[in-house]
Structure 1
Amino acid sequence: MKTKISALLIGFLFFISCSEDFITRDFDKSRYVPSTFYDSKDHAVQALNAAYSTLNGWANGYTWSVGIMHFVLGDDLYETGYAAGFTPWGPISNFDLQANQSAIGDVWNSYYQNILICNNALEEMPAAQKIANDPTFTDDVLNLMMGQAYFLRAFHYYNLAQYFGDDKIVIRRTKPKTESDFYLPPSPADSVVAFIESDLKKAQTLLTAGLNVTPGYEKGRATRGAATALLGKLYINRERYTEAAAEFRKLLPGVGDASYGTYSLVDNFRDNFNRTTENNSESIFEVQFNNMNSQGAWSNNDVNWVFQNFTLNRTSWSIMWWNFAVPNFKLNDFESWTEDISGTPTTVYDYRVYDTFWGVPNGANFTDQNGVTKDWQAQGWANETVIGQQGVYGIRKYALDRAADAPSGLDPLWSDNNIRLIRLGDIMLLYAECMAKLNPSNVTPSDPNSAVYWVDLIRNRANLPRNDQSHLYSARSGVPGQLPTATALMAAKGWTLMQLIEHERYAEGYCEGWRKEDLKRWKKDASYVQYKSKWTGYQSLTLPVPLTETDRNPKFQ
């Protein structure tokens, strides 16, 4: 690790600046000498923006390994035949997790590189303020910047702990300055959780002027609401339901605290995944991607390759990689009903199905690069095979409906669509889960202190007709979906509150990266996940510490 960190310190860390606009600003700056560079407010901003630039970077962001792991580690996606050459992601998708797999090492190293950049910002920004003697570089300005850096560092540690376990994390509070700093043992699990908690509470305190509705606050920057949501997630994933509920509630419409931000569900569910509706009222934290150049490159950090792996198949879009897909049986867990359409009894699915998947019956059309529109059958999904069974679906979330809608100047493999990491729909259902644990007897639909109140809000939105392709059943003007209320569904199915919430999180968040945390938190056993050969229960969601790390760090036991 010493060599890698040293190289970063002198060669990578000190020149990047970033934005929804701030991600790309000043990107052509040359390299600087760290010991003398940070002497102004602008330089402090560049240190902070460098911490954002890693989120959409190729080497250590959601453009590649970190992004693929986010989507693949769960039971949403299954490897296609094309994944055989995509080493080691096919095995990883089947939970065949090995300490010597390069992708696992990449994820570990990426988060620690990102933490190093955050630590640099946290050290250099206050120092720059002192040196600058700039009346515009006030304590309020510095506090806002420090709050963002604390959030970003906590975000990286949070993900490390979720992937590798609380007891496997080496806490690095500062940049390494001596030989011994390179070789630290893992910290006790409770210390790791406390460290993340502390950073997020600092972010909450410092980001009082950094809300999603603060005038002039740049979209894509960490907000007080994002710190609050992540703190709630830290708590709920460790069964600290009372504390989690208190944090989540601050963000909820109607009962929340406006000093943490103002959030609301968007009416059109698909707006959470379109490139034209990013950073909307439901978004709490998302990775910003931009089309800033004429063609992507393996090392650029403005567009990403992630979605090509699981959106369209090669019949739909011949240059797709398409390494993962959805077997047909996964549709069985979505609700449906029968309608008389043009005199024919017709199965209509939960409207979210048409937003989420390609290839479902009477689903969305795709228009290819030649201008040919292919319906759900012509796209070829029924001819593809996954888990030895013919007939699969793709993920429409995050996909383009037309090849011509690809970013200007880029081939269709590239995407500038933001990845939504935290949104209000997720937080509402997590709050409902807390209520189910804390007050399971309260099933009053009109009471915000009941789980069903929040589940009903999610289901009511799911029933709204869409602004979407006009042939879709979900896009019929004035024809809402027929999902029953939460209490009616529980009665019909004989479900508990937790079964209701598990179902709703499946339907609402399919292929958004929620499952790796959900299945672990719910402690699902060996029988829960089907057709993934190495799944033995929720323990399968914990990655092994990379062999390269245990080999080179003598204090890692």
Structure 2
Amino acid sequence: MKSKKIIYVSAVMMVAIAAFTACKKFLNPPLKGVYDESQLANAKGINGMLVNAYATLRGPEGVISASASNWEWGSIAGGDAYKGTELADRTDDNPIMRFELTPANPIVSAKWNGCYDGIGQANAVLKMLPKVTGMSDADKKQIEAEAKFIRAHHFFEAKKMWNNVPWVDETVTDHKGLTNTTDIWPKIEADLSFAYNTLNEVKPYKGQANKWAAACYLAKAYMFEKKFAEAKALFTTIIANGKNAQGVKYALTSNYQDNFVVKKENNSETIFAIQFSYGDGSTTNANFDNILNYPHGGGSKPGGCCGFFQPSQALVNSFETDATGLPMPDTYNASNVTSDEALLSSQPFTPYSGNLDPRLDWSVGRRGVPYHDWGNHPGRDWIRDVTYGGPYSPKKNTYFKADEGSTAGKVGWGFSANALNYNIMRYADVLLMAAEAEIEAGSLVIAQTYINMVRARAAAFAPSNAAPYNQPATTATYATYNVGLYTVPFVDQVAARKAVRFERKLELAMEGHRFFDLVRWGIAATEMNAYLSVESGRRPTTLAGATFVAGKHEYYPIPSDVIANMPGVKQNPGY
């Protein structure tokens, strides 16, 4: 009996244990999306980790201000645009255009977290890679090079933003012990050099970094470091031999606007771009960083909200040209290109009749000019607060009406998602940096050739002589478009610098570069205080009293939570 009883009790216990285990599995199912090392140490696992690292280019999921598009950090801070919309919307953005950011501002943390999340994901790939089995050494080298490229990209972003930042690689385990007192340019160079020397020219997927994307990044790093001779040599090689990841030789597209149309993206001008998608079940796989940057108001128009990122009057004025079609960098802001700021949409408006560079109307939405295929921009009806944000709308980030339902559409609470990629770097950017390098360490004649290549493309396709995409053919003239080439040799470096720097302003308008260019040229304080002096009169409720402080505002404040949790990281000067 005793024996039987023991057996009986054991059987009951076994049933109870089985029932408990089943309940435990039911109540605590295996976590989805969480993998252990054994699942990742193979070709499928490591490639999935690499894809995840690429995904960090857009910033953390559902977070504005963290992406490499830098519409706030590069364009608003650089005078391309005002914050836009109205004073009370996203007030954390207001200090960017006024140079009043504090370390406690949450959007500063958003950008920092975006950079270091990307660095962390790239490091995770590099840390796992030696453990991977079933993969050739050659394939492992390609993954290593791509991961180091992504890491270098994020460190490049951090360096531009804060200058003094801690280096974190796959060997670091004690984050609290990190410091930011050592210049990280040599380490960025090392990652990019490895990628340039290792990556294949041709890659299977659009959006992958290849040998030439790494070369362009490395040459750009040289420009920031003022290593002009090294940059010149590398740019010469890139221009002669560079190809995109599909093996197509780099070239300017025939039409400037092809770089901002979803059906034309990943073209011969694309060096490296964030790949966005629409309709895959996730709104954050779309161009989430720009979800607020559409015209505001009623009627048929792209986006559901909210009127942010409005081009400045100073930017619009920059596109004025003289009788020969050349820009006027010394006098452009003395008078305004006519706007409808004082008028309702129902009131008649006579557009500006002077000479303009057509890139204005591919970059800025202004009244009476076709806004892609949405019809003519109506003016005030699409503007949230004209006194605060001015009369203009952004355009390069905006999709076409014909895209709705396929690559764009309204989602969530009414905002719009779209699959329009963001070009982190394109060939026109490379040509103009190459021109700079030639000015500093080579030939003014070659520099002039590169600048004229960019200007010739601008002159070739204007809204007045060809119908915009999906826009019915029209004979309407929206301006007196006039773009000329530099035919007289530059007299000296000073004149050449002025030409190439202003050309970058025009060509890359609203693309997140301007502020960082001004800083690397060492003229940010001069240019931004001149801008603020004039714009504070045009936008008193927006910019009155704003000042750029030399020695402080060239870099952003390091987030206060970073300073609090990492004793070795020191705050930037002035904050």
TM-score, with length taken from structure 2: 0.76
Match of 1:223 in 2: 210
- Structure 1 segment 132-531 matched on structure 2, within 5 A: 132=133, 134=134, 137-165=135-163, 168-174=164-170, 176-177=172-173, 180-189=174-183, 192-207=184-199, 209=200, 211=201, 214=202, 217-252=204-239, 255-256=240-241, 262-294=249-281, 296=283, 301-315=284-298, 317=301, 319-336=304-321, 346-359=353-366, 362-365=368-371, 374-378=375-379, 380=381, 384-386=385-387, 391-402=390-401, 405=404, 407=407, 410-411=410-411, 413-439=416-442, 442-444=443-445, 450-466=446-462, 468=468, 469=471, 470-471=473-474, 482-488=482-488, 496-524=495-523, 525-526=525-526, 527-530=529-532, 531=535
Contact conserved, 1:287 with 1:418, CA < 8 A, in 2? Answer: yes
Could you tell me how far apart the structure 2 residues matched to 1:463 and 1:250 are? Answer: 27
Could you tell me how far apart the structure 1 residues matched to 2:457 and 2:285 are? Answer: 32
> What per-residue deviation string (whole Å, max 9, x for no partner) do you get for residues 29-57 of structure 1?
93334443323111111121110122235
Match of 1:546 in 2: 559
Q: Cα offset for 1:152?
A: 0.2
Cα 1:138–1:183, aligned 2, differ >3 Å: closer, same or farther?
same
Contact conserved, 1:357 with 1:393, CA < 8 A, in 2? Answer: yes
Q: Cα offset for 1:329?
A: 3.5
Could you tell me how far apart the structure 1 residues matched to 2:313 and 2:62 are? Answer: 33
Could you tell me how far apart the structure 1 residues matched to 2:352 and 2:99 are? Answer: 41
Q: Cα offset for 1:398?
A: 2.2
- What RMSD over aligned residues (CA atoms) do the two structures have, in Å? 3.3
Cα 1:81–1:422, aligned 2, differ >3 Å: closer, same or farther?
closer
- Between 255-264 and 45-54, report the one with greater CA deviation: 255-264
Could you tell me how far apart the structure 2 residues matched to 1:259 and 1:330 are? Answer: 31
- Between 416-425 and 71-80, report the one with greater CA deviation: 71-80
| Structure 1 residues without counterparts, runs of 5 or longer | 1-28, 368-372, 445-449
Could you tell me how far apart the structure 2 residues matched to 1:302 and 1:545 are? Answer: 28
Cα 1:244–1:483, aligned 2, differ >3 Å: closer, same or farther?
same
Contact conserved, 1:60 with 1:114, CA < 8 A, in 2? Answer: no
Cα 1:203–1:283, aligned 2, differ >3 Å: closer, same or farther?
same
Cα 1:384–1:110, aligned 2, differ >3 Å: closer, same or farther?
closer
Cα 1:51–1:437, aligned 2, differ >3 Å: closer, same or farther?
same
Contact conserved, 2:229 with 2:437, CA < 8 A, in 1? Answer: yes
> What per-residue deviation string (whole Å, max 9, x for no partner) do you get for residues 215-234 of structure 1?
x6210011111111111111
Could you tell me how far apart the structure 1 residues matched to 2:62 and 2:381 are? Answer: 34
Contact conserved, 2:59 with 2:115, CA < 8 A, in 1? Answer: no
Contact conserved, 1:348 with 1:473, CA < 8 A, in 2? Answer: no
Contact conserved, 2:66 with 2:110, CA < 8 A, in 1? Answer: no
Could you tell me how far apart the structure 1 residues matched to 2:259 and 2:372 are? Answer: 19
Contact conserved, 1:160 with 1:169, CA < 8 A, in 2? Answer: yes
TM-score, with length taken from structure 1: 0.78
Could you tell me how far apart the structure 2 residues matched to 1:473 and 1:149 are? Answer: 50
Q: Cα offset for 1:385?
A: 2.3
**Larger helix share, 1 or 2:** 2
Contact conserved, 2:176 with 2:568, CA < 8 A, in 1? Answer: no
Q: Cα offset for 1:286?
A: 0.4
Contact conserved, 1:63 with 1:305, CA < 8 A, in 2? Answer: no
Contact conserved, 2:409 with 2:417, CA < 8 A, in 1? Answer: no
Contact conserved, 1:100 with 1:547, CA < 8 A, in 2? Answer: yes
SS in 1 for 2:439: helix
> What per-residue deviation string (whole Å, max 9, x for no partner) do you get for residues 272-298 of structure 1?
1111111111000000101143563xx
Residue 89 of structure 1 pairs with residue 93 of structure 2 = yes
Could you tell me how far apart the structure 2 residues matched to 1:324 and 1:351 are? Answer: 20
Q: Cα offset for 1:414?
A: 1.2
Q: Cα offset for 1:64?
A: 5.1
**% identity of equivalent residues:** 21
Match of 1:11 in 2: none
Residue 47 of structure 1 pairs with residue 49 of structure 2 = yes
Cα 1:409–1:103, aligned 2, differ >3 Å: closer, same or farther?
closer
Cα 1:62–1:124, aligned 2, differ >3 Å: closer, same or farther?
farther
Could you tell me how far apart the structure 1 residues matched to 2:64 and 2:488 are? Answer: 40
Q: Which structure has the bigger radius of gyration? A: 2
Q: Cα offset for 1:267?
A: 0.4
Q: Cα offset for 1:174?
A: 1.6
SS in 1 for 2:530: coil
> What per-residue deviation string (whole Å, max 9, x for no partner) do you get for residues 298-336 of structure 1?
xxx311333343442335648311123123343222134
Alignment equivalent of 1:123, drawn from 127, 139, 151: 127
Which one-letter code corresponds to 1:38 in the other structure? L
Contact conserved, 1:83 with 1:324, CA < 8 A, in 2? Answer: no
Contact conserved, 2:85 with 2:384, CA < 8 A, in 1? Answer: no
> What per-residue deviation string (whole Å, max 9, x for no partner) do you get for residues 330-382 of structure 1?
3222134689xxxx99435211111111015x422466xxxxx5423456468
Contact conserved, 1:60 with 1:107, CA < 8 A, in 2? Answer: no
Contact conserved, 1:265 with 1:425, CA < 8 A, in 2? Answer: yes
- Structure 1 segment 22-101 matched on structure 2, within 5 A: 30-59=32-61, 67=69, 68-70=71-73, 71-101=75-105
Could you tell me how far apart the structure 2 residues matched to 1:30 and 1:146 are? Answer: 27
Contact conserved, 2:102 with 2:557, CA < 8 A, in 1? Answer: yes
Match of 2:548 in 1: 535
SS in 1 for 2:264: coil
Q: Cα offset for 1:103?
A: 0.7
Contact conserved, 1:285 with 1:420, CA < 8 A, in 2? Answer: yes
Contact conserved, 2:455 with 2:483, CA < 8 A, in 1? Answer: yes
Q: Cα offset for 1:114?
A: 1.3
> What per-residue deviation string (whole Å, max 9, x for no partner) do you get for residues 517-545 of structure 1?
21101222343332351323485231111
> What per-residue deviation string (whole Å, max 9, x for no partner) do you get for residues 203-262 of structure 1?
11210x2x2xx2x6210011111111111111111211111122222221xx34569962
Contact conserved, 1:97 with 1:543, CA < 8 A, in 2? Answer: yes
Could you tell me how far apart the structure 2 residues matched to 1:426 and 1:110 are? Answer: 24
Could you tell me how far apart the structure 2 residues matched to 1:230 and 1:265 are? Answer: 18
Which one-letter code corresponds to 1:352 in the other structure? R
Could you tell me how far apart the structure 2 residues matched to 1:472 and 1:77 are? Answer: 31
Which one-letter code corresponds to 2:192 in the other structure? L
Cα 1:58–1:170, aligned 2, differ >3 Å: closer, same or farther?
closer
Match of 1:8 in 2: none
